[in-house]
Amino acid sequence: MPLESAIEVSNLTKYYGDLCAVDHVNFEVKKGEIFGFLGPNGAGKTTTLRLLTGLTKPTSGSAKVAGHDIMAESIKVRECVGVVPEVSNIYDEMSAWDNLIFASQLYGVPNDQRAERANELLGLFGLYERRMNRVGTFSRGMKRRMTIAAALIHKPSILFLDEPTTGLDVQSSRMIRNLIKELNKSGSTVFLTTHYIEEADQLCQRVAIISQGRIVTVDSPEKLKVSVEKHQIIEVSFSQVEDLERRLTDLNYVNKITQVGDKFRLHVENTSEAIPLLVDFARENELKIMSINTLKPSLEDAFVEITGIAAEAMASEKEQAKKGGNLG
């Protein structure tokens, strides 16, 4: 029996003047899945999220969220969704407790349920001990958890997360990802916009890749990886790394090479032909092979193949985001 739809999008389009930010987008999100919306900065991710949550109106096209039309039933849509924007919408001058009680009032949570719900979320998000402290004293990761807690106060069936881990340290990012997984296990549908490819791979059952306002593909991460398996990858490290990349590129069967830390990843036509050449290369250059492995293509490899956007460009966007760059 097919899963019901949580979100249905048909030819959704948004212009800002002459700029087409979202261009006739079509996709469907199933109930109970984590759906990733993956793309570089400025691709149209945040604009799509704003359209689906009633924060901006489409130029044309239509969409249903939790069965409600985003134009004709925008109030019903807002009642069914929780939205976690990229920029925090909680109040620094208020305590964690007061923020959640205020959010419960905004969302119309019955008065006799507000305290219980706030306590439940503060416990779930590891913030109960700090509930009476001003949010302004919280770390960035704690503020992010607070923002998600506030979005969940009315028990929405669909949670929209816009770049939830951008700018966070490794530990905070891991905690947020684990919370997303737990929320999904408890039945929440999660719509996640991100430009962190590895994050989408870890979390999402399916992803849509958007580039320049258009959907390029929609599929599971594993199927996208399989689609580029014609590219075989060898990861090798030698006893030294200086001045090797150019010489490795000249080897037969090597189409592309990237350096990852002290290792080299060679995209080759045939691993069985290329590996003996690497052994000969090491011997001729008086090098030791420290490690050698064959790898399956990653979601990043699939993303690069599908969009033509270089992995290096995505990496630079991650750094820009950490420094507070704009995300689209």
Using one digit for the tens of pLDDT, what is the confidence trace for 175-220?
A: 999 999 999 999 999 999 988 888 999 999 999 999 999 999 999 9
Query: Which residues, 6 or more positions from 106, have their beta carbon under 8 angstroms from its beta carbon?
Result: none
pTM of the model: 0.80
Q: Has residue 254 got a pLDDT over 80?
A: yes
| Paired residues of 236 in beta bridges | 264, 292
Average pLDDT over residues 39-60: 92
Q: Where are the strands (E) in the chain, listed by range?
A: 5-16, 19-30, 34-38, 60-65, 68-69, 81-84, 158-162, 189-194, 206-211, 214-219, 232-238, 254-260, 263-268, 289-295
- Residue 6 C-beta-side C-alpha neighbours within 13 Å: 20
The answer to whether 29 and 7 have CB atoms below 8 angstroms apart is yes
Tokens 């032909």 label which residue? 273
Other CB atoms within a 10 A radius of the CB of residue 252 amount to 10
Cα separation values, 319 from 6, 168, 297, 298, 325, Å? 33, 12, 23, 20, 9
CA dist., res. 116 & res. 168, Å (int): 29
For residue 316, what pLDDT is reported? 53
Q: Has residue 229 got a pLDDT over 70?
A: no
In which region does residue 126 sit, left (phi positive, over 0), alpha (psi from -120 to 50) or beta (all else)?
Answer: left
**Tokens standing for residue 305:** 């193949």
